[in-house]
Each structure stands twice: as structure tokens, then as C-alpha cells.
Amino acid sequence: MEVMIEKLITRLAFRGCVIGFFALTSQLSGATEAPITQEQFLILQRQNEILQQQLHQQQETIDLLTHKVSEIQGASAQQDRELSELKTENKPGKEAMSEMAGPLHLGKVDISGEGGVAFFHSQSKGATPNAEFRIDEAKIFIEAPIWNDVYFFTELNLAAREETDLNLRVGELYLDFENVSQLWGRDRMLNLRVGRFYIPFGEEYQNRFAIANPLISHSVSDLWGADEGVEVYGALGKAQYILAVQNGGAATTRDFNADKAVAGRVGYDPTKWLHLSVSGMRTGDLDAVNDGISELWFANGWIRSIGSGNTTRFHANLVEGDVRLRFPGWAMRAAGGYINYGDNDPVGSNQRDVYYYYVEGVKDITKQFYGAARFSEILAPGGFPIVGNGDMGTYFGPVLTTEYWRLSLGLGYRFSSNLLVKGEYSINQGRELGGEKRNHENVFAMEAAFKF
């Protein structure tokens, strides 16, 4: 379409030049001949006016077509930007790649990475009472084209806060079939992923890793995970959608129950400064013995069976709403959600209702210096495994928690988009199912986060 319009503009411009040339030569040739009569002069004047009108009309047509070409080019560029954003919407690793100053190019293969080195010191009942220096995070990303709009992407984790050792692990690994909807002439409407990728529930997981997180801690709920399956995603105007079917259990090479996890999110951007979304998920039935835990990380642990030893299956259903506000110099995000847990324990009913929420704000103090704060809380009236910043063996084990909250206060300095230094103090308190208070879990932390 754009090429045809450009050709038409060229033809009109050429035609105008020809008309102008003949008008000029006719007048010049007339000047060398014998004097013309008044009648001939009037006829020539009329012809000249007609030619000028034609030239003016053609110029207006050229201007109109030129404007139309500019609109088409602008729309095409906008579609390319939106597709790029859509491709990375629920992929923190891939999003980091797209924002880097320049990944390492090995032929058609792009290699990049990100990470963080940190210091943690908690109170006596916290997770790091001995003032620890840690490699908080280390990731390598590899992306390569396969064929046309088919791409390979993987995230390799060398270190993670959730792990106690340094071992190479696969985070994401998938084939991305981009813009499948071009088959019926619609850009960005349908894209497909197959492999291992992040569970598309909620939105905090998109900003939880070191370089993207304005703070060092996460919310108390901190829902995220990666699992094997298939995912479709796309956009329709100002709305976006993601839907995934995944195994559900923590095992990466087996699935011990035929029931699958289903998760999805629908987002809407009514204006440039406002984003809204709603997410839903079912873990599906999980094998209490072989799966043991779900792939979904929750409250610094996982969703696990809380039934007796006779329990063979457990599950959870979740729903969450998210909102983001962004203005020059400050931003805010908030979310609230609900979890319903159940199992088939023959001894008795273990159904639980769990509620959670967080509110986070970031304010630029200078161009590079900022302050951030987040308050988050979980309410589980019947008791639930909530580790928070406590001891994993205690609070992911026999002791259930009914409420837990965290207030995180931090300062950060952005040397560049690739280097961030930040510090934080978080206050953590809660209450066990038996009524005992959870105290002395506060944490001071500092971190240098980077990407390349």
C-alpha cells in the first residue's frame, strides 16, 4: 500500500513538471513570433489559468498522499514497538535483554545477563542473622532466530536468592512463534510460546529481579514461578491477554497428575499513565507425595499440602487485581488477591481462604537518586505456610501463620540503566496459628544490581 502511494506521488509530480514545462515553452515560443491579437491573448491567458489550477490541484493531491504515507509509516513503527513490548510483557529476563545498551552478538545469537551482589543482616529470628555477603542473583540470557518469526530463548540461572548453592539451573527455555495472526492479516493478535516460561499470574514477577526491583525485598506474597507448558498471548487495541496451560508441579521432567495448571491475565491501558489487569489461576490437582509442592512460589515458600499423611491430592485457586500509575518523577503500583486451598485429606477438611495485598511507591529525588517504599500483608485466618523472613524449616514446616506484614523502606542510585546501587530496611511481623507473635525478623540489606 505504502509503495503504491509513493509511486502515485512520483507520477503526479512528473506530470506536473511536464505540464509546467509545456506551459512555459508555449509562452516563450509565442514571444518570438508575430504579435498576437487580443482574442489570442485572452485564450492564452485562460489556458494558463487552467494549467495553474491543475498544478495547484495536483500539489494538494501530492501533499495529501505524502501525509497519508507518513501516517502509515508512523502506524507501522508504533505496531513494531507494541509488538516488541508485547513479546516481553511477562518475561523479566527477555525484557532485560530488550532494554540493554547492547548484548553480545555471536552471529545471529544474542547473549546478555544480569545479576546482583548483596549484603543481608537480619535480627536473631530472621533468615540471615550472621550478616551475610551473597551473590544474590546471576542470570545469562541467550536468544537466537530459528526460522522467520520463530525464536529460541533461554534464561540460565547461575545463582538465585531462593537457592542455597551455586548451580546452573534453567529458568526459562522456550520456542516463541511470534505474530501467528499475520496468517489472517492481523498484527500482534496471536503469538505462541512452547517450553518452560514464567507463570502469567499477577504482575509483581515482572519486576522482582535485582535490576528491575526498586527495593531489595519483595512483597510478602511474592507470587511467581516458571513451569513447562504452552502459552498464547497477544493484544487487541488497548487490551492485552496471556493464557497458559502448564504442568503445575515442581518436577521439571515429569508430571505426576494429568490435571493441568491454567493461568491467565487480561490487561487494559486506558491512558498512558494508567494500567489495569486481572489474573486468575488454578494449580490443578497436585500429587501430595510425588509433586510435593506446586511450581508457584508464595510467601518465600511454595503452595504445599497442609493435610495429614493420608492426603494424596491438593490444589489452590487464585485471583488477583493489579494497578499501575506512572507520572514524571514518580510511580505507584498495587495489587490484591485471594487464594482458596483444598485437598482430599480423609481425616478432615483443610480448606483455607488466604488474602494478600501490597502497595508500592517510587519517587525520584534527583535524576539518579530515588526513594521507595512498599507495604504488604497476608491474612490467613485458618493458618497457612507463610515463611516471610523467618526460618524456612519452621514456617514452611509444622508452624502455620495467620497474619504477616512487611514494611520496606529504601533508597537507590542509578549510575546508568545498567548499574543500580540500593539500600533497604524492612520491618517484618506476624502471628502464628497458636497466637504467638513473630518478631525479630527485621532485615537491613544493600545491593549492587547490574546488567550487560
CA dist., res. 210 & res. 136, Å (int)? 8
Is 182 exposed, middle or buried (CB count within 10 Å of its CB: 0-12, 13-18, 19+)? middle
For 170-217, how does the pLDDT look when each residue is reduced to its tens digit (9 = 90+)? 999 999 999 999 999 999 899 999 999 999 999 999 999 999 999 999
State mean pLDDT over 338-362: 97
User: Which pLDDT does position 169 carry in this prediction?
Assistant: 93
Which residue from 259, 266, 256 is spatially nearest to 245, judged by alpha carbons?
Answer: 259
CA dist., res. 192 & res. 377, Å (int)? 35
**Residue carrying C-alpha cell 525479630:** 440
Is 28 exposed, middle or buried (CB count within 10 Å of its CB: 0-12, 13-18, 19+)? exposed
User: Which pLDDT does position 441 carry in this prediction?
Assistant: 98
CA dist., res. 24 & res. 18, Å (int)? 10
CA dist., res. 344 & res. 440, Å (int)? 36
Amino acid at 404: Y
183: part of which helix (H) or strand (E)?
Answer: none
DSSP-assigned beta bridge partners for residue 163: none
Instruction: Identify the residue with better confidence: 146 or 20.
Output: 146
For 29-77, how does the pLDDT look when each residue is reduced to its tens digit (9 = 90+)? 444 444 556 565 556 666 666 666 666 666 666 666 566 555 555 544 4
Is 203 exposed, middle or buried (CB count within 10 Å of its CB: 0-12, 13-18, 19+)? buried
Counted residue by residue, the chain has a size of 452
CA dist., res. 60 & res. 399, Å (int)? 79
User: Which pLDDT does position 105 carry in this prediction?
Assistant: 72
State mean pLDDT over 331-342: 98
Among 17-26, 151-160, 216-225, the minimum mean pLDDT is found in 17-26
Find the angle CA(18)-CA(20)-CA(25) to the nearest 5 degrees: 95
Indicate whether this model's pTM tops 0.85.
no
* Helix and strand totals (H; E) in the chain: 4, 21
CA distances to 186, 213, 221, 282, 333 from 359, rounded to whole Å, are 37, 14, 12, 24, 6
User: Which pLDDT does position 255 carry in this prediction?
Assistant: 85
| Pair 336, 356: CB distance under 8 Å | yes
Confidence bin at 254 (pLDDT 50/70/90)? confident
User: Which pLDDT does position 257 carry in this prediction?
Assistant: 86
User: Which pLDDT does position 51 carry in this prediction?
Assistant: 63
186: part of which helix (H) or strand (E)?
Answer: none
User: Which pLDDT does position 100 carry in this prediction?
Assistant: 44
Confidence bin at 253 (pLDDT 50/70/90)? confident
